[in-house]
Structure 1
């Protein structure tokens, strides 16, 4: 005879009630995701970049080895695969729900802080010279000495978002979520 699981809380038996009870958490997550998107598209601070600074930021432009969408998606999907496998073994929807909330909050809050700092600081990437002057012809303001860029505006906007590292921040969020 099969033993009864008194503490079994499955998605079918407790899922809807649990989701309703935590509606405010999901609303906050949606707002955080919207804030991440808004800050991502906000123009960064246009920090002064003079001619003497160009030697340090003259690395060649190379295609990204890791797509921008891959790090957050992998950072969210890999833990979820673990959570789902634990759910299948234990049948506790509360553990699954709270683990999912923890990872999403950690990744989204970290993304908000990272993107706000990137936008506020406006530090140029190491390949900023070639983003600013794709043809190699330098142009500077005669009075101030700041660069006058003639590269692609979107590519240039991303070129002013070097600090802090988004990859490192995302990994730090996962380590933090692991401690929850």
Structure 2
């Protein structure tokens, strides 16, 4: 581990500086939030659903086993709590800041991708029939034979959205079975949530599988934007922290060189003044400052 001084880079000492440096990242996050809101407000594409196609879309309309409000708690609030607890242990604002950025980017990018696909494809859910005809009586267009839904508009709208979200912050450990179990725990929770969506007839298994691939890919990509690979020797900390250490070392070396050069120059001036007063007329001193400027 490099020369790390834990507790010296806190929110109070470096928080504002880091936030200003990554202001563009937070602006992009806000833009993703706006896009996500728009994608959930607009009407999805209503794919043609004929009478003969309802055989596989007539599963019972059930409530979710895992409520919708519980998903952001598991995917966002719980990881945030873990990140904050870890910050109070390590007192490293770089680690906390970039962990939060990675988490939020993975959640929002996955959300935008999956919701855009949902709205664009408009594939009906397995329980679409009962969303469209809550009374069980199908009504179809006499010309096209397309469904003419009589249910609640918001319920029907949700019935045209397929492809679930799988979002999690991906971390891979090596050589520590206990840590590996901790890493796989959120993956297990995500898998159980996805299975419950299939059991509740809200999704087909193909959509769950596609959502898992999207979530895994986006989470891995976002993680590697802010942190080295977990198997790297510096995998414990974010890129920005090691960049700060490198810049600090270079700054110290430069300041030391400048101080040495100032001392050399002051000695030259002293010799010159002495020679003017006749106290040291025979002393000639030549200082070579090039090694100091070169960092030698």
| Alignment TM-score, normalising by the size of structure 2 | 0.55
Q: What's the counterpart of residue 52 of structure 1?
A: 52
Q: Which has the larger radius of gyration?
A: 2
Change beyond 3 A, Cα 1:69–1:30: farther
SS for the counterpart of 1:74 is helix
Count of residue correspondences? 176
Partners of 2:70 and 2:217 in 1: CA distance: 15
Shift of 1:66: 1.9
- Matched residue SS, 2:55: coil
Q: Match of 1:54, SS?
A: helix
Matching of residues 105-144 of structure 1 within 5 Å: 105-144=105-144
SS class of match (1:96): helix
Q: CA RMSD in A?
A: 2.1
Does 1 or 2 have the higher relative contact order (CA < 8 Å, sep 6+)? 1
The answer as to whether partners of 2:9 and 2:91 remain within 8 angstroms in 1 is yes
**Does 2:69 correspond to 1:25?**
no
1:92-125 residue CA offsets vs partner (Å, 9 max, x unmatched): 1011001100010011000000000000010111
1:172: which partner in 2? 216
Q: Which blocks of at least 5 consecutive residues in structure 1 are unaligned? A: none
Q: Does 1:161 align with 2:205?
A: no
Whether the aligned pair in 2 keeps the contact of 1:107 and 1:173 (CA below 8 Å) is: no
Cα 1:73–1:174 change in 2 (3 A) is farther
Deviation at 1:23, TM superposition (A): 1.2
Alignment of 1:71-86 (within 5 A): 71-86=71-86
Distance 2:108 2:154 in 1: 23
- Give yes or no for the alignment of 1:67 onto 2:111: no
Gaps of 5+ in 2: 167-207, 228-296
Deviations 1:133-170 (A, max 9, x none): 111111111111110111101100000002x1224547
Which runs of at least 4 in structure 1 moved beyond 6 Å after TM superposition? none
Tell me which moved more, 109-118 or 28-37.
28-37
Shift of the 6–81 alpha-carbon distance from structure 1 to 2, 3 Å rule, reads closer
Contact 1:8–1:91 (CA<8 Å) still a contact in 2? yes
Shift of the alpha carbon at 1:175? Answer: 4.9
